[in-house]
C-alpha cells in the first residue's frame, strides 16, 4: 500500500493552491453554521466507513501498529463530530451586544461583536499521529469549523495515508456539492516554509519538533504582516511521586509510569519523560516496578530513520551526564528495532543536560530527598504540556502538597492527579498547551477553544438590523450571547446532561 515519495509542490503550484483557498474562503465563511457542521459530520462518516483500509495503509507507513491506529482513527472521527457540535452550539462566536444608550455622556452607540474566520490556514501534519493530528486531524477540523479553508503540509512519513484520507474528504465534498478545495495538500519542506511566508495565508497550525516549530514561528513573525503561528512543540511532562504514595502504591505507579513512557514507543507528546521519585526503599520499589515493565518490552520500529538517529544521540548524551546510571535497557537499535531504556540520577546531579524532550522509549527517574529539593528541580524544568502528581488523599491539605501543585501548575497547561499524562480526551474542557516550548501561545490544539485560533473579532457599530448576521440580532439569534454585559441563553437552549456516574471521579 505504500507509494513513491510525492513530488514537492512547486512555487507556481503553491500560488495556485493559495489562490484556490482564497476563492473558496468567501463561499465557506458565508455558509450557515449548520452546513459547515454537516460537512464535518459527513467527513467523519466517510473516515469511519473507510477505517479498515486507512489503518492498513497507515500501519504500513508508520509501524504504529494495528493495536493503536484504530483508536486514533476513532479519535479523529470524534474530533470532527465534536467541532460540528461546537459550531452548532454557537458560543464560540462570542456574540456580544451592547445596546445604544443615548443618555450616557458621550452617547453610547449600538455595538455588536462577533468572531469571524481569519482566512486560509496552513496546517503542518505530525509524524506520530497520521490521523488525529494530520490531514483531517484537530487543526484541520477546528479551522474548517471556524470557516477557514485549510492547506495541509503533508508529513513525509505517511504520504499514502495522507492521500487516502484526502481522497475521503474530496469524495464527501463532491457528494455534498461543496468545493473540494476547502482542503488541499502540498508536499515538501520548502513548500511548507514558503506557505508560512505567503501573503494569502492568515494563520499556521503546527505539531512537531521544537526546532522545526521555532524556525517556522520566526518565519511567521518576520513577515511584513506577521501572522499567528500556533505550535505544539516539545514537552517533558514531569511526574511527581510523593513519599506517601510511593509507600502505598509503589508497584502501581512504577508500572503505570513505564507503560506510559513506552506507549507508542515513547513517541507521544505527553510522554512522562521525567519522574521525581523519593530516595529510599519505597522509591526503589517504584523504580523496580518500572524497570520490570521495560525489561519485558519487545523492541519497536520508530517512526522515521531520523527519529531513530536522534533518539540514539539523545540517549548517549544523557548517559554521559554526571551521576546518571541505567536502571534497565540500552535504548539500542538492532535490525531497525529500538529497545527501551530507563535512567536514574539523584536530584543533586539533575542538570540542564537531562531536561530536554527525548522522542522515543527513554525516561529518567530523578531521586529526591526533600520537598525543597524537589521544588528546586521543578522550578528548573522547561515548561510542559502536562504534569502528573501522585499524592495520597491524606496529603491533599498539606502545605507541601499545595506548594507542589502551585509549582507544577505554573509550568504546565494540564495538571493530572494520580494518573499519567498520556491520553488527551476530546472534550470541551481539554487543554493541550503550555508555556514555551510546550506551545508558543496561550491557545490550545485540543478542546473546544482550539477553534478560536482561526477567528478574529469584528464589531458592527450602529448597523441597520436588516444587514446584521442573524446571530447578532437578539430577537432572532439561536446562540448564547451577552447583552449589556450579561450572558443570556437563547430560548430552548438545552441544559447540561449529568454524566452516568454523576459527580467527579476523585
- Cβ contacts of residue 305 below 8 Å, gap of 6+? none
Catalytic residue chosen out of the listed positions 269, 344, 357, 358: 269
Q: Please report how many Cα atoms fall inside a 13 Å half-sphere around the Cα of residue 193, on the Cβ side.
A: 10
Residue 492 is a binding residue for a copy of itself (CB under 8 A): no
Decide the pairing of beta strands 481-483 and 121-124.
unpaired
Using the rule CB under 8 A, which residue among 413, 451, 471, 477 binds a copy of itself? 413
Provide the minimum distance between the beta carbon of 175 and a copy of itself in the complex, in angstroms, as a whole number: 29
Using the rule CB under 8 A, which residue among 51, 68, 116, 337 binds a copy of itself? 116
Size of the site for a copy of itself (CB under 8 A): 100
Provide the minimum distance between the beta carbon of 157 and a copy of itself in the complex, in angstroms, as a whole number: 25
Three-state secondary structure readout of 383-408: CEEEEEEECCHHHCCCHHHHHHHHHH
Subset of residues 454 to 473 that bind a copy of itself, contact rule: CB under 8 A = 455-467
Residue 437 is a binding residue for a copy of itself (CB under 8 A): yes
What CA–CA distance (Å, rounded) separates 311 from 293? 20
Helix, strand, coil % in the chain, rounded to nearest 5: 45, 20, 40
Residue 398 is a binding residue for a copy of itself (CB under 8 A): no
Residue 505 is a binding residue for a copy of itself (CB under 8 A): yes
Q: Please report how many Cα atoms fall inside a 13 Å half-sphere around the Cα of residue 216, on the Cβ side.
A: 32
**DSSP notation for 471-491:** GG-TTT--S-EEETTEEEPPT
Residue 370 is a binding residue for a copy of itself (CB under 8 A): no
User: Of 190, 68, 184, nearest to 130 (Cα)?
Assistant: 68
Using the rule CB under 8 A, which residue among 397, 399, 491, 492 binds a copy of itself? 397
| 156: phi then psi, degrees, rounded to nearest 5 | -65, -10
Using the rule CB under 8 A, which residue among 7, 225, 335, 399 binds a copy of itself? 225
Contacting range for a copy of itself; rule: CB under 8 A; set: 263-271, 282-290, 341-349, 444-452 = 444-452
Residue 488 is a binding residue for a copy of itself (CB under 8 A): yes
Provide the minimum distance between the beta carbon of 264 and a copy of itself in the complex, in angstroms, as a whole number: 14
Using the rule CB under 8 A, which residue among 72, 89, 194, 357 binds a copy of itself? 89
Residue 14 is a binding residue for a copy of itself (CB under 8 A): no
Using the rule CB under 8 A, which residue among 1, 442, 470, 476 binds a copy of itself? 442
Provide the minimum distance between the beta carbon of 187 and a copy of itself in the complex, in angstroms, as a whole number: 27
Residue 353 is a binding residue for a copy of itself (CB under 8 A): no
Using the rule CB under 8 A, which residue among 56, 85, 369, 373 binds a copy of itself? 85
User: For the window 237-256, what string marks contact with a copy of itself as x by the rule CB under 8 A?
Assistant: --------------------
Q: How many other β-carbons are positioned within 10 Å of the β-carbon of residue 456?
A: 14
Cell numbers at 336, concatenated: 531497525
Subset of residues 46 to 75 that bind a copy of itself, contact rule: CB under 8 A = 71
- Establish whether 53 is a catalytic residue: no
Q: How far is CA 114 from the centre of its chain?
A: 26
* Helix/strand/coil for 85: helix
| 481: phi then psi, degrees, rounded to nearest 5 | -150, 165
Provide the minimum distance between the beta carbon of 261 and a copy of itself in the complex, in angstroms, as a whole number: 18
Provide the minimum distance between the beta carbon of 402 and a copy of itself in the complex, in angstroms, as a whole number: 8
Using the rule CB under 8 A, which residue among 62, 371, 444, 477 binds a copy of itself? 444
Subset of residues 278 to 337 that bind a copy of itself, contact rule: CB under 8 A = none
Rg (CA), the chain: 24
Provide the minimum distance between the beta carbon of 118 and a copy of itself in the complex, in angstroms, as a whole number: 7
Nearer to a copy of itself by Cβ, of 149 and 329: the residue is: 149
Query: What torsion, rounded to 10 degrees, do the Cα atoms 15, 21, 26, 28 define?
Result: 180
**DSSP notation for 316-357:** HHHHTSTT-EEEEE---EETTEE--EEEEEEGGG--GGG-S-
Provide the minimum distance between the beta carbon of 461 and a copy of itself in the complex, in angstroms, as a whole number: 4
Catalytic residue chosen out of the listed positions 61, 232, 344, 357: 232
- Establish whether 358 is a catalytic residue: no
Decide the pairing of beta strands 362-368 and 384-390.
unpaired
* Helix/strand/coil for 6: coil
Q: How far is CA 112 from the centre of its chain?
A: 32
Residue 414 is a binding residue for a copy of itself (CB under 8 A): yes
Subset of residues 136 to 165 that bind a copy of itself, contact rule: CB under 8 A = none
Confirm if 456 and 307 have CB atoms less than 8 A apart: no
Q: Where in the sequence numbering do the catalytic residues fall?
A: 232, 269
Amino acid at each position: 500500500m505504500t507509494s513513491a515519495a510525492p513530488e514537492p509542490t512547486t512555487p507556481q503550484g503553491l500560488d495556485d493552491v493559495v489562490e484556490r483557498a482564497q476563492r473558496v474562503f468567501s463561499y465557506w465563511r458565508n455558509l450557515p453554521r449548520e452546513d459547515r457542521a454537516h460537512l464535518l459530520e459527513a467527513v467523519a462518516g466517510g473516515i469511519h466507513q473507510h477505517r479498515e483500509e486507512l489503518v492498513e495503509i497507515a500501519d504500513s507507513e508508520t509501524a504504529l501498529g494495528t493495536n493503536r491506529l484504530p483508536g486514533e482513527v476513532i479519535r479523529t472521527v470524534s474530533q470532527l463530530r465534536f467541532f460540528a457540535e461546537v459550531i452548532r452550539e454557537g458560543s464560540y462566536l462570542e456574540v456580544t451586544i451592547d445596546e445604544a444608550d443615548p443618555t450616557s455622556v458621550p452617547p453610547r452607540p449600538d455595538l455588536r461583536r462577533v468572531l469571524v474566520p481569519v482566512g486560509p490556514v496552513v496546517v503542518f501534519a505530525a509524524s506520530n499521529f497520521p490521523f488525529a493530528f494530520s490531514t483531517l486531524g484537530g487543526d484541520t477540523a477546528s479551522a474548517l469549523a471556524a470557516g477557514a479553508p485549510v492547506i495541509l503540509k503533508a508529513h513525509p512519513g505517511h504520504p499514502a495515508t495522507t492521500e487516502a484520507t484526502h481522497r475521503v474528504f474530496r469524495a464527501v465534498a463532491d457528494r455534498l456539492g461543496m468545493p473540494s478545495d476547502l482542503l488541499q495538500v502540498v508536499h515538501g519542506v520548502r513548500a511548507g516554509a514558503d506557505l508560512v511566508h505567503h501573503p494569502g495565508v492568515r494563520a499556521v497550525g503546527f505539531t512537531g519538533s521544537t526546532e522545526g516549530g521555532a524556525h517556522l514561528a520566526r518565519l511567521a513573525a518576520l513577515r511584513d504582516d506577521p501572522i499567528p503561528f500556533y505550535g505544539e512543540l516539545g514537552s517533558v511532562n514531569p511526574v511527581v511521586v510523593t513519599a506517601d504514595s510511593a509507600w502505598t502504591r509503589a508497584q502501581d505507579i512504577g508500572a503505570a509510569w513505564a507503560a506510559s513512557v513506552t506507549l507508542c514507543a515513547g513517541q507521544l507528546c505527553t510522554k512522562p519523560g521525567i519522574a521525581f521519585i523519593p530516595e529510599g526503599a519505597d522509591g526503589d520499589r517504584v523504580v523496580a516496578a518500572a524497570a520490570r515493565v521495560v525489561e519485558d518490552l519487545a523492541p519497536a520500529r520508530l517512526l522515521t530513520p531520523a527519529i531513530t538517529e536522534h533518539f540514539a544521540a539523545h540517549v548517549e548524551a544523557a548517559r554521559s551526564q554526571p551521576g546518571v546510571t541505567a536502571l534497565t535497557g540500552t535504548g539500542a537499535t538492532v535490525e531497525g528495532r529500538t529497545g527501551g531504556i530507563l535512567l536514574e540520577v539523584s536530584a543533586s546531579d539533575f542538570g540542564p543536560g537531562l531536561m530536554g524532550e527525548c522522542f522515543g522509549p527513554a525516561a529518567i527517574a530523578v531521586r529526591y530527598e526533600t520537598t525543597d529539593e524537589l521544588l528546586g528541580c521543578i522550578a528548573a524544568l522547561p515548561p510542559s504540556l502536562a504534569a502528573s502528581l501522585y499524592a495520597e488523599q491524606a496529603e491533599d491539605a498539606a502545605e507541601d502538597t499545595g506548594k507542589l501543585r502551585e509549582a507544577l501548575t505554573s509550568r504546565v497547561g494540564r495538571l493530572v492527579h494520580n494518573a499519567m499524562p498520556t491520553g488527551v480526551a476530546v472534550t470541551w474542557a481539554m487543554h493541550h498547551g503550555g508555556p514555551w516550548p510546550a506551545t508558543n501561545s496561550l491557545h490550545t490544539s485540543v478542546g473546544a477553544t482550539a477553534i478560536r485560533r482561526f477567528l478574529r473579532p469584528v464589531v458592527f457599530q450602529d448597523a441597520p438590523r436588516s444587514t446584521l448576521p442573524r446571530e447578532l440580532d437578539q430577537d432572532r439569534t439561536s446562540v448564547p450571547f451577552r447583552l449589556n454585559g450579561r450572558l443570556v441563553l437563547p430560548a430552548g437552549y438545552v441544559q447540561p446532561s449529568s454524566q452516568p456516574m454523576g459527580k467527579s471521579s476523585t
